[in-house]
Amino acid sequence: MKKSLVLALSLGLGILAGCSSESSKPAEKPQPKPPECATARSAFQKCYVAAHGWARDAQPFRLESQLTSDCNGQDGKSAVWRANFASALQHSVKPYLWSGTNAADAPARGVTFGSEDSYNPNNSSTRIFDIAYLKIDSDKALEVAQKHGGAEILKKAPKTPVQYVLDWDGAENKLIWHIFYGASRSEAKLSVAVDATTGDFLRVEK
């Protein structure tokens, strides 16, 4: 009987010691999730689905990348993409953003949306387009731009960021990629226009 009691007490103390030892270990900090940089079509598809939850007739009129501290756009990808949609039924436009980063200069990860604004279908800056015209992704458009001055820019200034804007050109009746090399479009060292349907080089815009 005494032996059994001693054995039980020993086991109990062992368990308590084990628990105490485990609880004294510092909790492991969760590792930060690495940034996800995506091409335009991948991010756009996620925004497109979300926009149709807002308005069933939502149509895109502009898609653009956004620079972040962890993605410079030199591989045809971005950690943040902003897709702007218009709805004739809602008489408004609404931006949707996809983010794959936790960077301080970026929106929250996933798909978020901005505030609505009024929509005028006759406004040239909000010309909607059919997504069927978007056949050339941002990385392929970059390859074209690289052959028309972009490679030289990055060779001379390797840290130059690359940004992307996609919109419909009513005069040419084409969906066009505008790839520009610089922190802003107005101060870009080079801007190249590429046909987003065929992948053809159109012109050097700057």
Where along the chain do its domains lie? Answer: 40-204
CA-based max dimension of the chain: 99
Reply yes or no on whether the pLDDT at 4 is more than 60.
no
Residue type, position 67, single letter: L
Question: Could you read off the pLDDT of 9-55 as tens digits, one per residue?
Answer: 344 444 444 444 445 555 566 667 888 999 999 999 999 999 999 99
Report the predicted TM-score, pTM, of the whole model to 2 decimal places.
0.83
CA distance 50 to 44: 10
CA distance 51 to 84: 9
What does the pLDDT average to over 147-173?
Answer: 96
What does the pLDDT average to over 80-88?
Answer: 98
Query: Residue 3, Cα to own-chain centre: how many angstroms?
Result: 69
Q: What is the pLDDT at residue 22? A: 47
3-state SS class at 148: helix
CA distance 163 to 180: 5
